[in-house]
Amino acid sequence: GLKFTIPLTFFALLINYIRKIDHLIVIISSGILSLIFFNAPFKSYIIISSGIGLIIAFIIIKKMSKEL
């Protein structure tokens, strides 16, 4: 019965971030990138996808600050 608690807790944390479009873009892109890089050596797909997700977030923040 406790196998579902960790994914449900993670999903509950993500619900708050899904409300903003910039957060949603970073979440979806990081998820897709982790699937693309799944066969990377030493299971480094987690580091690669989160690093590229941070770069995407940086680009989005720069674009939004120029618009304001």
What are the structure tokens assigned to 45, written together?
């797909």
Distance CA 67, CA 25 (A): 18
Determine the distance from the C-alpha atom of residue 14 to the mean position of all C-alpha atoms in its chain, rounded to a whole number: 10
Interval 2-59: pLDDT, tens: 788 888 888 888 888 888 898 899 989 999 999 999 999 999 999 999 999 999 999 9
pLDDT recorded at residue 37: 96
How high is the pLDDT of residue 55? 97
Give the pLDDT of residue 35.
Answer: 96
